[in-house]
Homo-oligomer: A and B are copies of this chain.
Amino acid sequence: MAIGRSPQSSSQTPDPGAARRPSRARGIPEATVARLPLYLRALTALSERSVPTVSSEELAAAAGVNSAKLRKDFSYLGSYGTRGVGYDVEYLVYQISRELGLTQDWPVVIVGIGNLGHALANYGGFASRGFRVAALLDADPAVVGSSAAGLPVRHMDELESIVESQHVSIGVITTPPGAAQQVCDRLVEAGVTSILNFAPTVLTVPDGVDVRKVDLSIELQILAFHEQRKAGDEPDRTESVLDRAPGPVRAAAAKLRRAAGGSGKTRAAAEDADPAAKGKPGKAGEGELSAVMPA
């Protein structure tokens, strides 16, 4: 892969860098690709119920999107429907699976076997979509040797040999944030070219490596934003009049605040600045989703 480093190219919610990624290969828009798994899931459910065909309207409802969007999405894959009838469920399952690359086997390594690593190792959705857990890895000798989901937890030292021998191209990072970049570097060095990152860290990877991230805290913060706007719009803001004042006034206020040494801080802001200063129950630092800290 290329040498030049670039900030991670993909993420979850909107998608910083989506436009830059080479991903539009064969012309399927990124937004469409992201919905294909939703359609596939809905189709799989229909298939299990032995439903032979489905209309765009029905399938769209099952997948939680609107039918025009679904038809547009499918039009990028080809004309797999029949006018006046709908789509053949089995055939569409096959086409979408193929398009997503799920007719291949994808060996995956999971690095960092804390609670989240355990949860992922046990995740049924992995195996049922062609993903196979090739190995569970951890740096903590206390964890290495134990087993999760019927697989032994192996030491980080084995990473390179496992990736090579099993042709692993996808890695999942469930370490604490402090270890994520190191782990990422080792994965990439070993030959992994797609990374799913659960650590709340921006990963830097070479060109040609895809990173997606799942960030639990961010999802909650987005909910909080909307929640705040529901509760009557002005819930209990500690907002100063100056904060909504015209430009010059605000600039002056900011300058004063700076001079005064951050007097505008509130509880949350102050705690962010010094996590050690707070006496809340959840004592772990931000993002310590898994238990152990690889070397």
Per-residue interface assignment for chain A, residues 53 to 65, with 1 indicating a CB less than 8 Å from any chain B CB and 0 otherwise? 1000000011111
Q: In this complex, what residue of B is CB-closest to A13?
A: B34
Taking CB atoms, residues of chain B closer than 8 Å to A237 are 98, 103
A183-B73 Cα distance, complex, nearest whole Å: 31
Per-residue interface assignment for chain A, residues 228 to 246, with 1 indicating a CB less than 8 Å from any chain B CB and 0 otherwise? 1111010111110001100
Q: Check: A144 CB closer than 8 A to any chain B CB.
A: no
A238-B102 Cα distance, complex, nearest whole Å: 11
Do residues B264 and A123 form an inter-chain contact, with CB atoms below 8 A? no
Taking CB atoms, residues of chain B closer than 8 Å to A131 are 220, 224
Q: Check: A179 CB closer than 8 A to any chain B CB.
A: no
Per-residue interface assignment for chain A, residues 69 to 91, with 1 indicating a CB less than 8 Å from any chain B CB and 0 otherwise? 10000000011101000001011
28 pairs from A and B in contact (CB 8 Å cutoff): A13-B31, A33-B222, A34-B222, A44-B272, A53-B258, A78-B243, A78-B250, A82-B254, A93-B265, A95-B243, A99-B225, A100-B221, A101-B225, A101-B235, A103-B268, A104-B228, A106-B220, A115-B115, A122-B288, A127-B280, A129-B221, A129-B268, A131-B220, A133-B282, A150-B281, A195-B223, A196-B220, A208-B230
